[in-house]
């Protein structure tokens, strides 16, 4: 006698495992609780219990590739893990993310010994810091003033790195320094250096992520051997540019997790808060805010899932797609949290009552995510350059073979993911953006729905306009070029929603099969393009009902059918 066939493995399974291990964030007794995070945040202290819970769950093992002895096998899988952790304490995700940022160039370009040593440190719960940023340089890597002077038997490093993650607590660092013949990346193992050669700078007070070690370090006559050099001499800026394609994509997971928590706080408050004799959640303006905030989260999710899966199946597209995802996902998630603040109204500013002040912490924490790994301006400049290069290549008749969208939008299905060093990132792609190229097909696929088809055709029109603009301005940094890059990001996000609906809704099931989410989501994109979009009031109402169902059923506020840890719910307060 045989049992029922087993369910095929899914890239979402690991996130579900972490959800079970970490417990409900609303439970004040959980190790990684919102209440515990608020207490640590109020003191500007490290959330020690939350970090311990993350270590115990094995989070650090997932920033070490399988090839180096860890458990990082898929970036799509890792997205779900980071999102689960960020739903509870973004500072933990950012702290471990800073270690990933420091380790990623080692995974990609390090030699056998460098990779072995960093893997040993990370698996032993050591922190890493990417010592890149400087006070006067900001995001201009070419303005880096730290120097690595060739000396007998290696190099001598001098300079100061500021506003870097884990600067005070790190055991190793990857340092960008001006050298010969150009900039280089150097791996520093602090245990092997004299203490007087590295001075830790004070922690920088911040409005959000107060539990994160954002600080710096100063190097003075820091002598290292030739083995400290990562990769080829003079390739430091190039390596950093490629490394950021991984980490800037993963920043979206932090935003998605934080927005999930904010939306859940706002929804629960609106359902228990009585106004004019009825629950606030039944009032049309409140329902509209909840629906639009949820739709913003889903736009961000579709864009983030596609970009993260591309790290596994289409890594050569990431010079463009990682910048698009970094521009779109945090921005839409911040807007979703702002909508939640409007739902909470005055209670968003009161340090008691609603979720023990967790909303204000989430709002402060998520506000920095559009800045991490390059500001929005930096992303637009990257996108402008990549799209202009692609337009020039098309003009010369040079085209790419193309990527099957059926592979990219197959969320949840495991796919082979090359190890970072087996498929190194490139600096330019110069091909087409298949996500937007196939918008015409997507518009045709929803042609039987007049409303959705009209929204899709508007995206097609904007796509064609941006292509013409970028072809005209070539690679010049003009206002028109930056605006075209911004509009391309929005078209790409809308296209991700359409492709998800067309290619994945039946497999994902649940919310993904409900037309309401797509209708409201596309309107949110079209509105940001400055185009008229008549509200879908019925769609918004239905989307809020689906939102309520997901929360009641202990599921992620997501198109992904992810079961959460049993949700802790406080007793509803009495209202006059």
| CA gap 543, 253 in Å, rounded | 22
Q: Tell me the Cα Rg of the chain.
A: 24
Is there a domain that residue 494 lies in? no
Structure tokens belonging to residue 463: 């796509």
Angle between helices 90-109 and 48-57 (to 10 degrees): 50
For residue 430, is pLDDT > 90? no
pLDDT band at 7 (very low <50, low <70, confident <90, very high): low
Q: What is the DSSP letter of 220?
A: E
User: What number is the average pLDDT over the span 42-53?
Assistant: 95
Is there a domain that residue 325 lies in? no
Of residues 406 and 100, more confidently modeled = 100
- Structurally, the chain folds into a number of domains equal to 1
Compute CA distances 61 → 57, 413, 415, whole Å. Answer: 9, 22, 20
β pairing state of 147-151 and 183-189? unpaired
DSSP, residue by residue, 317-356: GHHHHHHHHHHHHHHHHHHHHHHHHHHHGGGGS-SSSGGG
For residue 225, count CB atoms less than 10 angstroms from its CB and return exposed for 0-12, middle for 13-18, buried for 19 or more: exposed
pLDDT of residue 349: 87
Is there a domain that residue 3 lies in? no
pLDDT of residue 9: 83
Structure tokens belonging to residue 134: 């400087």
Q: What is the DSSP letter of 278?
A: E
Is there a domain that residue 224 lies in? yes
pLDDT band at 6 (very low <50, low <70, confident <90, very high): low
Is there a domain that residue 33 lies in? no
The predicted-structure confidence for 272-304, as pLDDT tens digits, reads as follows 999 999 999 999 999 999 999 999 999 999 999
pLDDT of residue 394: 61
For residue 222, the enclosing domain spans 128-230
Query: Taking a C-beta distance cutoff of 8 angstroms, is the pair 435, 495 a contact?
Result: yes
The predicted-structure confidence for 409-424, as pLDDT tens digits, reads as follows 999 999 999 999 999 9
Compute CA distances 287 → 284, 433, 547, 569, whole Å. Answer: 5, 35, 11, 21
What is the overall mean pLDDT for the chain?
92
Is there a domain that residue 144 lies in? yes
For residue 394, count CB atoms less than 10 angstroms from its CB and return exposed for 0-12, middle for 13-18, buried for 19 or more: middle
Q: Nearest Cα to 11, choosing from 328, 253, 296, 263?
A: 253
pLDDT of residue 427: 87
Whole-prediction pTM value? 0.95
Give 399-406 contacts, CB < 8 A, sequence gap 24+: 399/431, 399/432, 400/431, 400/432, 402/432, 402/434, 402/437, 403/314, 403/317, 403/434, 405/434, 405/435, 405/438, 405/499, 405/503, 406/503
Query: Taking a C-beta distance cutoff of 8 angstroms, is the pair 269, 376 a contact?
Result: no
Sequence-separated (6 or more) residues with CB below 8 Å from residue 70: 61, 62, 63, 64, 119, 122, 123
| CA gap 284, 291 in Å, rounded | 10
Helix (H) or strand (E) holding 238: helix 236-272
| CA gap 63, 124 in Å, rounded | 12
Compute CA distances 384 → 333, 378, 409, 465, 474, whole Å. Answer: 23, 10, 25, 14, 9
For residue 546, is pLDDT > 50? yes
DSSP, residue by residue, 140-159: -GGG---EEEEETTEEEEEE
| CA gap 213, 243 in Å, rounded | 21
Helix (H) or strand (E) holding 253: helix 236-272
| CA gap 75, 305 in Å, rounded | 10
Is there a domain that residue 67 lies in? no
β pairing state of 198-201 and 127-131? unpaired
User: What number is the average pLDDT over the span 22-28?
Assistant: 94
Domain at 187, CATH number: 2.40.110.10
The predicted-structure confidence for 494-523, as pLDDT tens digits, reads as follows 999 999 999 999 999 999 999 999 999 999
Reduced to 3 states (helix: H, G, I; strand: E, B; else coil), residue 426 is coil
Which parts of 23-141 fold into alpha helices (H)? 34-43, 48-57, 75-86, 90-109, 112-123
User: What number is the average pLDDT over the span 529-554?
Assistant: 96
The predicted-structure confidence for 118-171, as pLDDT tens digits, reads as follows 999 999 999 999 999 999 887 788 889 999 999 988 999 999 999 999 999 999
The predicted-structure confidence for 223-247, as pLDDT tens digits, reads as follows 999 999 999 989 999 999 999 999 9
pLDDT band at 399 (very low <50, low <70, confident <90, very high): very low
| CA gap 382, 361 in Å, rounded | 31
For residue 392, is pLDDT > 50? yes
Is there a domain that residue 515 lies in? no
């Amino acid at each position: 006698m045989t049992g029922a066939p087993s369910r095929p493995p899914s890239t979402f399974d690991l996130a579900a495992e972490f959800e079970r291990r970490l417990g409900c964030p609303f439970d004040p007794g959980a190790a990684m609780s919102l209440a515990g995070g608020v207490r640590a945040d109020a003191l500007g202290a490290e959330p020690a219990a939350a970090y311990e819970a993350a270590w115990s769950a094995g989070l650090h093992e997932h920033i070490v590739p399988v090839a180096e002895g860890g458990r990082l096998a898929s970036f799509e899988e890792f997205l779900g893990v980071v999102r689960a952790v960020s739903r509870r304490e973004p500072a933990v995700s950012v702290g471990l993310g800073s270690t990933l940022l420091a380790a990623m160039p080692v995974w990609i370009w390090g030699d056998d010994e460098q990779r072995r040593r960093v893997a040993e440190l990370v698996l032993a719960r050591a922190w890493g810091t990417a010592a890149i940023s400087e006070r006067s340089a900001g995001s201009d890597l070419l303005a880096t003033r730290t120097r690595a002077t060739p000396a007998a038997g290696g190099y001598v490093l001098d300079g100061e790195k500021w506003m870097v993650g884990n600067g005070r607590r790190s055991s190793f660092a990857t340092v960008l320094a001006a050298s010969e013949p150009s900039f280089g990346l150097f791996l520093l193992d602090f245990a092997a250096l004299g203490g007087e050669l590295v001075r830790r700078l004070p922690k920088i007070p911040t409005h959000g992520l107060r539990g994160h070690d954002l600080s710096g370090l100063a190097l003075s006559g820091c002598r290292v051997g030739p083995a400290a050099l990562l990769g080829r001499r003079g390739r430091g800026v190039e390596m950093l540019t490629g490394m950021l394609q991984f980490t800037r994509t993963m920043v979206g997971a932090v935003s998605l997790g934080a927005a999930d928590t904010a939306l859940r706080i706002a929804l629960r408050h609106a359902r228990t808060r009585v106004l004019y004799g009825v629950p606030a959640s039944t009032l049309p303006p409140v329902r509209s805010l909840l629906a639009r905030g949820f739709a913003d989260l889903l736009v961000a999710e579709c864009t983030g899932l596609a970009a993260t899966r591309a790290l596994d199946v289409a890594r050569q597209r990431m010079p463009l797609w990682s910048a698009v995802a970094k521009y779109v996902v945090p921005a839409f998630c911040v807007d979703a949290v702002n909508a939640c603040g409007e739902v909470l109204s005055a209670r968003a500013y009161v340090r008691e009552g609603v979720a023990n002040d967790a909303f204000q912490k989430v709002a402060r924490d998520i506000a920095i995510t559009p800045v991490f790994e390059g500001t929005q301006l930096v992303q637009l400049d990257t996108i402008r350059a990549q799209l202009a290069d692609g337009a020039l290549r098309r003009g010369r008749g040079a085209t790419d073979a193309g990527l099957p969208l059926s592979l990219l939008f197959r969320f949840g299905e495991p796919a082979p993911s090359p190890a970072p060093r087996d498929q190194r990132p490139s600096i330019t792609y110069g091909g087409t953006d298949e996500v937007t190229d196939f918008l015409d097909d997507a518009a045709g696929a929803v042609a039987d729905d007049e409303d959705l088809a009209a929204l899709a055709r508007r995206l097609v029109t904007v796509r064609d306009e941006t292509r013409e603009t970028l072809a005209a301005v070539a690679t010049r940094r003009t206002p028109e070029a930056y605006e075209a890059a911004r509009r391309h990001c929005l078209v790409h996000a809308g296209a991700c929603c359409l492709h998800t609906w067309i290619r994945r809704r039946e497999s994902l099931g649940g919310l993904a099969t409900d037309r309401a989410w797509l209708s409201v989501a596309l309107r949110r994109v079209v509105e940001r393009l400055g185009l008229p979009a008549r509200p879908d009031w019925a769609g918004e109402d239905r989307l809020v009902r689906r939102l309520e169902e997901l929360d009641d059923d202990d599921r992620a506020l997501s198109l992904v059918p992810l079961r959460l840890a049993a949700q802790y719910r406080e007793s509803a307060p009495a209202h006059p």
